Amino acid sequence: MTEATLPDTSTPAGPFHPSRAFYRTVVLVVVGLLTYGSYFAYDSIGAIAPTLIKAWHTGQDGIGMMYTIYSIAAILSVFVGGVLSDRIGTRAATILFASLIVVGAAIVAGATSVSMALVGRFLFGAGSESLVVVQSAILARWFHGKALALAFGVTLALSRLGTLFSFNTMSLLSGRFGWRSALWWAAALCAASLACGVVYFLLDRKGEKALGLAEAGAGDKIVLSDVRKFGASYWYVVALCVTFYSAIFPFTALSTDFFHEKWGLPMTVDEGSTGFLYAAVKDFLHMFSTAPGTTSIIIFASMCFAPFAGGLVDKVGRRGSLMLAGALLMIPCYLVMGFTTFPPRFPMILLGAAFVLVPAAMWPAVPLIVDKARVGTAFGLMTTIQNVGLALFPWLNGKLRVMTHSYESSMVMFASLGAAGFVFALLLLRADARSGHVLERAGG
């Protein structure tokens, strides 16, 4: 610890001193809201996809490309964001990346074509994924031990609220004020998150002086020499990660259009002259009755049950078995939605269950199957490969829709990804059995 970071003990600790729980709670909320705007803006495209397809004179492949370009930027940011955060510190990195998000979202809101919007989405993706890396470093800087797990849970919940409200308010905003105003609202929320970054800057500067906080490493950074030392279990988890997320997020990118077109679900339940806030609450309460709301079922399930799923995994273990069950659930869900007119809310609820079970078992499994010194590389590489899938499949989903004029081919593709994930989970269970059932045991 250098002289510049020695704790300031010259004044007594007041009610809003960095050592107080209330101060840390404020830091936690502010840090959680850093990514609220970007989560809202990320899915704002999918939430009003039918409208944007007409406005930008494009097809579902154009909307899919908006998610693909984001993931391409995300792949690059894994290599740059963490290193830059370590070099300039979390405060400066927060302002830099949050500003990049605002610029990208503003370009999308002002875009007159898909080509212009793609430029904005690339900048938005580079800033957004880098900010997530910085957010992790901030939590490691301020919270320790069991408090760190709780802090991650709170920030994820706050971020997911952005996604939930994006799907349940963007269509209403678009219908009341126009699609461009809706996108500008998403950009404004990104600006609000930037304002939270400024607040964090001030809080952290005071905390560093008072507590002598040390900068935490950004974490998920890839050290190439570590890669060849990973065993089979790790690579099966990575393969399952790619297939699972490639079957979830690319689907939600265009599922609003899917539900609107095939089942005739409205974009909003309140097209009357009631006040906006009343209509927004009504849309949220009738989530299962609208196309964007049905899409958000997956996210809503994750917000409500992910903390309980994490506790279940710690208590019973069975990580490989839970990944197997989650992958298996996806197969009938997509086939039912693709080839029947069965109400989509029921398979979406099952997909929500899969979205709770698999991540709760998958991400905590990584530290159990790789050496402690290589966990950062393991997570960084896993995230990078995951984004390769997230770059490919949204575009492929849109392309299949344009080529076939139906969603059946896309649903077969997503069901096939579930089947591939099921195979990888079986191989993981076999590899884990040879390693002493590390993943199936309770605890860590």
Looking at residue 302, its pLDDT comes to 81
Q: How far apart are CA 197 and CA 275, in angstroms?
A: 32
Range of lowest pLDDT (5-9, 149-153, 164-168, 365-369): 5-9
What does the pLDDT look like over 90-115, one tens digit per residue?
A: 889 899 999 999 999 999 999 988 99
Contact 303, 157 (CB under 8 A): yes
For residue 189, pLDDT beyond 90: yes
Residue 217: pLDDT band with limits 50, 70, 90: low
Q: How far is 173 from 161, CA to CA, in rounded Å? A: 17
pLDDT for the residue numbered 5: 46
pLDDT at 2 (0 to 100): 39
- Taking CA atoms, 216 is separated from 2, 86, 109, 213, in Å, by 15, 8, 35, 9
CB 385 within 8 A of CB 222: no
Q: What percent of the chain has pLDDT over 90?
A: 48
pLDDT-wise least confident of 141-155, 179-193, 388-402: 141-155
Cα separation, 403 vs 415, in Å, equals 19
Tens digits of residue pLDDT in 388-428? 999 999 999 988 988 998 899 999 999 999 999 999 999 99
Sign of the C-alpha dihedral computed for residues 320, 413, 242 and 303 taken in this order: negative
Band the pLDDT of 45: cuts 50, 70, 90: very high
For the residues 273-293, what does the mean pLDDT come to?
Answer: 80
**CB neighbours of 153 closer than 8 A, spacing ≥ 6?**
306, 307, 310
Residue 444: the pLDDT is: 56
> Which domains occur in the chain, in start order?
16-221 (1.20.1250.20), 224-444 (1.20.1250.20)
Round to whole Å and give the CA distance between 442 and 312.
9
- Read off the pLDDT band of 128 (50, 70, 90): very high
**What local confidence, expressed as pLDDT, does residue 317 receive?**
83
At residue 337, does pLDDT exceed 70? yes
Q: What is the pLDDT of the chain when averaged over all its residues?
A: 86
Instruction: Give the pLDDT confidence of 344-397 residue by residue, as tens digits.
Output: 999 999 999 999 889 888 888 888 888 877 776 787 788 888 989 999 999 999
